[in-house]
Amino acid sequence: GGEEFAIILPHAAGPAARQLAERIRRRLAERARHPERPFAEPVTVTVGIATYPKEADDAESLVGLADERLYEGKHAGRDRVVGGR
């Protein structure tokens, strides 16, 4: 029921990627709140982070690990960032 996309951050270590993901998650939630629609569904963002070459050594395994972490976050309740520590 949601959209999936990837953000590639060359030269960003896990903690920097995590900070950006948390900032995106918070800002989207803030912007989705609207006084004229107080009962609208909340907007949530779940992010899976994987780093190259520390955690994966090729593009396929990098995307696969990020996807695993995305679904880990969804199964844990959504609206969270998994990985990037």
55 is catalytic: no
User: Which residue type sits at 21?
Assistant: A
Side-chain-side CA neighbours of 46 within 13 Å: the count stands at 18
Q: What is the C-alpha to C-alpha distance for residues 75 and 38, in angstroms, rounded to an integer?
A: 26
Residue with tokens 């844990």: 76
Active site residues: 3
